Structure 1
Amino acid sequence: MQFTLLKNLCFAILLTSGQSNVVNDALSEQVLKRFDGQWDAIWIAVSELVVRLDALEKRLEENKSEECAPSERQDTDEVTSHYRIDDKLKEEFMILKKAFVAEKENLREFVELLEQKVEAKMKDVGIETVTELKHKVNLLANEKTDKELSEDIQGRVRTVEKTLNSVQSIADALEKRTKLVESKANKMQDSSNEFEGRLVDIETSVSTIMETQNRKVSFTAQLRPPGDATAVLYKKNQIIKFNHVFYNDGNGFNTTSGVFTVPVSGVYQFIFFVEGWKVDEDNDCPEAIVWLVVDRVGLVIVAVAEPVNKGHHVQAGNAYINYFTKGQQVLLGTTHTCETSVIAGYRTTFSGALLY
């Protein structure tokens, strides 16, 4: 009776654990497995011992009923054999009795351990008495129908579906955020490309400005005679050294040599004026003739100032536009027409500028 109650207790605990989360499923399975295995082993052992004890008791009773004092007709061997059988039965009985006691002790220990575990499980699920346990077992056995089990499974399926939907929602949200981040990254890349383009434009503008600054080339020089003199006597094929510079952007004109060295390739315009002065009537070649010389080659770009009378001043000029490369040299000089020429100062000038 006690073993049947314990089995009902375990069954109730297992049914209750299937309905609530108070009892751990894994622990319940371990208790059930341990109970079934150990119970079966103990029950089989005890059953065999009972059968053997019953057989011995019958044999002993039969032996006692037939026991009598040995007659004179019985020989000594028969008596001795009878007592030897009786002793063997007693010895076998004692062995079985010890085995039964040992199995009984094992069963008691197993029952005590199982009772402790059942009581603990009962407290966990809120069951105080055995009567309440039996009522709970009957209630659970009646209520736990196939329909409810199906509904329970369906509920778990719905829970799993909700979890999957939540995971899908999270995945969709992550995908949206990923797309948003990629969109922002693309915008940042576009902004970066635009910034790089603007930076290139700025660098180009700066380079253009720098080149423009470097391409600002112009000068104006004037001939000033030394001391109190008002004119300078030049021989033929002589460089006119304009020793006073009003403006020299690009530092292309050299006042010492009177030569302009092209600092930047481009189209230049050169303008020059010369003033002639007839000092006396005896001058066979009173005109002042100058021309533009490029790289020591005189061009047919001349200015002829020809005074007629003594003390007469005449000014003449010319201009020239052409493409010049960096390093070319440009100057004004007298031609080979007159052996000497008197050129007045201050109104004899030489100018040039880079057009583009």
Structure 2
Amino acid sequence: MILVWRYLCFIIFLQSVSCNTDNDIILDVISSRLDHISISLARIARKQRVMETRIDSITDNMKGRDLTDGKKEDVVSDYSDGAAKEELLIMKRAISSEKEYVRNLVESISVDISGRIAAVKTPSDDLDSRIAAVEATSDDLDSRITAVGDKIAAVKATSSNLGNRIQSMEKGMNTVKATSGGLRTRVDSMESSITSLVSAAERRVSFSVQNRPRGNLAILKGETTVKFNHVFYNDGSGYDKTTGIFTVPVSGVYQFIFFVEGWQSKDEFICQAAILMLYVDGSSAETVAIADPRHKNQIIQAGNTYINYFSKGQEVKLSTADYCDEYSIFDFGTTFSGVLLY
């Protein structure tokens, strides 16, 4: 009975321990050890039954004999001193041996379980410290989450304000779009005016020049370009006084006006006239001005006009004729002018 109570107490102890340890590890150890205990208890029970059977057999033999008191003592002594006594001793020793084996198994299980519990407690301490660290981290996360929540609330407030401002801007944009049509029309008109002004500025071409030789008279050979050395006006920079040539800067219709003043210094009437001819790109335009004095010291002025379409880059000039070897050209009265009409 004592052994059974120990066994029950040990089972309760194992149940309490298994609540805080690894059930798989402990139960493996318990299962193997309990198998040995169960086998030993079964052997003890068998031997106890054998002893009971043997004692019952001896008792039945003694009852079946008619023994006097003296003979009964002899029979008892025979059984006590004989084979029965020896057999009982062997059984008692076997039972004691089995009990000792069971006791040793229980103690070894207790020692093994204690070691394993101690081994389990060490990681448990580490788990406690890690749990404490996790709790501290959780507190920090809570504070950070709270801070993030405050920021989100601030962002929502700002977002609402931005939404109102965006709506106001959209209304302004709609107003601008409504008026942009008229503005675009005005801008187009201004651009057209600017283009016209630029075009008109580019097409402003005119010049006016005069011949001012040293003294009052210039003697020029035949077929000589007259270099009008005094420039009154040269809008468009088409005239070059170093060459006497006007280069057309803009294509269009031009008007050219020129005058020549001649002076007869002798009574001879051979080559007394001052003759200038208009040339375009080196060819005569068949336009001539002839100043023809008829007596000595007479001054005569003549002129002509030429209108035509000219392309950009064409060259226009005045030259003396090829009728005489030289011509007398009087100063100030010999001029050359040109203007772009359209």
TM-score by length of 1: 0.46
Q: Which has the larger radius of gyration?
A: 2
TM-score by length of 2: 0.48
